Amino acid sequence: MAEEQRDVGGARGVRDSARDVGEPCSRSVRPEEAHAWEELVATARRTVSDGLVVGTSGNVSVRVDDTVLVTPSGVPYDRLAPDDITGVDLDGHQVLGTLVPTSELPMHLAVYRTTDAHAVVHTHAVHATAVSTLVQELPAIHYMSGALGGAVRVAPYATYGTAELAENMLHALTDRSACLLQNHGTMAHGPSLSQAYDRTAQLEWMCHLWLTASSVPGLTPHLLTESQVAEAGERLRGYGQRS
């Protein structure tokens, strides 16, 4: 399920290369970018309606060829319109729009520069964030861990928006499609916005499940073995309808 990691050092230099974001850009929007922006805005709004973020916390991006469309910084998702489209190239230089991209742009670009992902969803989901403060890896409470590539790791804390956080995140994402960010939230990627979102929602659900089970006095949750999670992951590769 997880896309291949190609270069763990991909986070280096992202902060410097993104210094031009927010400058006015005149390139016209291509039809495929307009369609992708519409889907991105719908996904961002869903993170709010499903309780995964509060206010303008969290962010969403989608890659269209060599352009990364991303939610702008500090703008409520219900106010985003077609003319608010915000895009950067893989070096972080703004190529579409005038709104300043999310402060977490280094993390998004690090994912695109080191994986085959086409979409990224970052949230501050409450249960996942709580778990990130307690453990270094989400205990294998459910076989859906296999859908994310295996045990979900927690990336060590670093200040938001920094290259250090992006670097920590990449290590936690090695051979995985999602991770937790310590005292911060979740990060998930996928080949589409719908899959990146579904992985985010599954991660939050598993964190909620573990917190619930582990809170029962006098009882300890039964956990799955690494081989059981791996076996489930293999079976999940063929899950669903075939086109």
The pLDDT tens digits of the residues spanning 18-33 come to 444 445 556 899 999 9
Chain segment 183-223, per-residue pLDDT in tens: 999 999 999 999 999 999 999 999 999 999 999 999 999 99
Q: Please, what is the average pLDDT of the chain?
A: 90
How is residue 215 annotated by DSSP? T
Cβ proximity of 41 and 80 under 8 Å = yes
Find the range with the poorest average confidence among 5-19, 76-90, 101-115, 145-159.
5-19
Q: How far apart are CA 104 and CA 26, in angstroms?
A: 24
Task: Identify the CA nearest to 80 among candidates 63, 54, 107, 60.
Answer: 60
Coil, strand or helix at 236 = helix
Q: Is the pLDDT of residue 7 over 80?
A: no
Looking at the chain, the whole-number percentage of residues with pLDDT higher than 70 is 87
Q: Answer yes or no: 39 catalytic.
A: no
Catalytic residue among 33, 104, 167, 204: 104
* Cα Rg of the chain, angstroms: 18
**pLDDT given at position 6:** 45
Length of the chain: 243
pTM above 0.85, yes or no: yes
* Residue 179, pLDDT score: 98
Tell me the torsion sign for CA atoms 70, 24, 13, 72.
negative
- What confidence score (pLDDT) does residue 13 get? 47
- What one-character-per-residue DSSP string does 128-190 give? HHHHHTT-SB----SGGGGGGTSSPBEEPP--TTSHHHHHHHHHHHTT-SEEEETTTEEEEEE
